[in-house]
Homo-oligomer: A and B are copies of this chain.
Amino acid sequence: MLTESTLIDAGGSAAGAGALLSILRDGRPRTRAELAQLTGWARSTLSLRLDALMHQRLVAPTDDAIHSGGRPATTFTFNQSARLVLAADLGVTHARLAVTDLATIPLAERTAEMPIDRGPEPVLTWLIETFRQLLGECGRSLADVCGIGVGLPGPVEHGTGTPVNPPIMPGWDRFAVPQWLSARLGAPVLVDNDVNIMALGEYWAVRSQVQHMIFVKVGTGVGCGIISEGRIHRGAQGAAGDIGHIRVPSFEEVVCRCGNIGCLEAVAGGGALAARLREAGEDASVSRDVVDLVRAGNVRAVQAVRQAGREIGMVLAWVVNFFNPSLIVVGGDIAEAGEHLLAGVREVIYSRSLPLATQHLGILTSELGDRAGVTGAAVMVIEHVLAPDVVDQAVTA
């Protein structure tokens, strides 16, 4: 049975180092005196925990000591290059891979054509090979890697990191991605769907002041990631954010790949836009082609993207009334086609949502752009391995 004295013993040991690291993770160098004041710990306790973090190389003394009258005091800082993260954003046709430090700064990065429909083993074998090359480029090895984060373009079961009935990923259903990769790379593997990691990346890197954020991805399909009080809202089955299959009015004749009719994605997704432009005689087969046409000033393409913005805006107007977010960020291929998509979205949200809910609502394009996913994949890993309880376990092991 635990008694007060065993609790106090534990309190005096390195357990609790995780809380100290949480303070230092903002990157500011601090003296022992400052850290003692911030934590309320005795100097002896603080020393034990600092030592534990320095032993793990997660914290380092800094050169620029602080002079304040008396002799200079050493400062301590989070050592963000102590470990590496392997981050991958696997899309339907393209992939982006990066080696980052513990602050999501990329040390090496690669984009490549890699169709997800080649199946899990070919794609993941290529992924491992590419990560090895990237590690080589930065002169580091797998021994430095603390975790691997992967985003996939389909539904992922949160507890297991396994794709579940992904409609456009033949061969991936129930494939145990974390186990397969972890056995070959020797580090924990976290997997989530692409929209959730894009939302996480954008939130963590540039929007962390925001309480309630919706990240809408408009690529081949349409989906959104929901951040509520700093955390991803996944819902009961992890299916939250699937706005692509909300039925929009006046399109009852459009059949979606999900088998239903009038889905937002079948009306306003990049795939649908490309198909419609192709029927009208334009040279478009995938969503990137729509972007190229818009950039070339093709009027049909501009009109189509603007109208897609309106359809998406209608669904988002409902989302604004229901969820009352402070910020809507629009990302994905089609969002890169300039202001046309956003103009359509804004037009409808501001005319249809409640004034109270739109009063301070921001509607912006993604600041991270096509790097949102890979950043979020890194964040997912970092938030896991630097969580106070995980750090405590590591330093006392």
Contacts and interface: CB of A to CB of B under 8 A. Distances in A.
Contacts of A42: 3-5
A183 interface: no
Interface stretch (A72-80, A199-207, A268-276, A317-325): A317-325
30 contacts: A1-B40, A3-B41, A4-B40, A4-B41, A165-B356, A226-B323, A228-B228, A228-B233, A234-B324, A236-B324, A236-B357, A236-B360, A237-B356, A237-B357, A239-B324, A239-B354, A242-B322, A242-B357, A243-B321, A243-B322, A245-B321, A246-B318, A247-B317, A249-B250, A258-B354, A315-B318, A318-B322, A319-B322, A322-B322, A322-B323
A11 B235 CA distance: 38
Interface in A356-382: 356-357, 359-361
Contacts of A18: none
A244 B235 CA distance: 22
Contacts of A3: 40-42
A132 interface: no
A354 B233 contact: no
A67 B165 CA distance: 56
A6 B41 CA distance: 9
Contacts of A247: 317, 352
Contacts of A12: 4
Contacts of A228: 228, 233
A296 interface: no
A124 interface: no
Contacts of A323: 226, 233, 235, 240, 322-323
A228 to B, nearest CB: 6
Interface string A1-39: 111111110011000000000000000000000001100
B318 A242 contact: no
Q: How many copies does the complex hold?
A: 2
A164 B351 CA distance: 21
A12 B36 CA distance: 21
Contacts of A319: 322
Contacts of A325: 235-236
B322 A237 contact: no
Contacts of A164: 356
Contact of A236 (B237, B243, B315, B326): B326
Q: Which 7 A-B pairs have the closest CB atoms?
A: A235-B324, A4-B42, A249-B249, A2-B40, A236-B326, A240-B324, A239-B324
Interface string A124-139: 0000000000000000
A204 B226 CA distance: 25
Contacts of A331: none
A245 B318 CA distance: 9
A299 B42 CA distance: 76
A344 interface: no
A17 to B, nearest CB: 15
A357 B235 contact: yes
Contact of A356 (B2, B239, B246, B356): B239
Contacts of A224: 322
